[in-house]
Amino acid sequence: MDDALDSAMRTFWQRGYEGSSLTDLTGAMGITKTSMYAAFGNKEQLFRKALDRYLRGPSAYEMDALEKPTARAVAEAFLRGVLDTTTRPDSPQGCLTVQGALAASDGARPAHELLVRVRSEAGDRLAERFRRAMDEGDLPADADAAGLARYIMTVVFGLAVQAANGVAREDLDRVVETTLRAWPA
């Protein structure tokens, strides 16, 4: 079932929550609707499992970045991680957590709210890591940890959208370089 879940993840990543019909999902997964319901539950439950797979797989760079020794290295790992994930030629372009359910009908509100929470929690973890960097003297005492985290997350999400729009990796890399040049000393 791992392959089927990978296929569901890729379908949601490419088409979003609402854009992924049960026919799309079961076709990509190579199973019947009855088998999908038995193995994964309904579409929302499948989405949650596929999102978890995405967070532990293609988007695992986020948790790895938090372990870097300096705040600048954390920021750089976030930025480069999103480039690696969103511009791979063998994967959908863009980011499942950004594009998965930005605009949502009432029926897709749970998926939308889940993705808002996932994005918010990632920013909170980054802000906490930057607060730690301030305590350790790695960032200036007057730095704005929450503001820096929001800045990096805004650039990360922007990079993901630009990747989904087909902007070349080299062009996005220049955005990363510009962002890192602005990093507080």
Q: Residue 93: what pLDDT?
A: 92
Which amino acid, 6?
A: D
Phi, psi dihedrals of residue 91, rounded to the nearest 5°: -135, 165
Q: Residue 185: what pLDDT?
A: 65
- The helix/strand count (H/E) of the chain reads as 10, 0
What are 89's two structure tokens? 């030629």
| Average pLDDT rounded to a whole number, residues 34-51 | 93
**Contact of 126 with 153, CB cutoff 8 Å:** yes
> What is the DSSP track for 49-73?
HHHHHHHHTTTTHHHHHTTSSSHHH
86-144 pLDDT, tens digit each? 999 999 999 999 888 776 678 788 888 999 999 999 999 999 999 999 999 999 999 99
Percent of the chain with pLDDT over 90: 88
Of 30, 22, 27, residue with least CA distance to 46: 22
Q: Residue 107: what pLDDT?
A: 77
H-run or E-run covering 123? helix 109-135
| Average pLDDT rounded to a whole number, residues 159-179 | 96
Percent of the chain with pLDDT over 70: 98
Q: How confident is the model at residue 2 (pLDDT cuts 50, 70, 90)?
A: confident
- The pLDDT mean for the chain works out to 93
Return the residue matching tokens 């979003």: 16
∠ CA(16), CA(123), CA(125), 5° rounding?
120
What are 41's two structure tokens? 């539950």
| Average pLDDT rounded to a whole number, residues 8-22 | 93
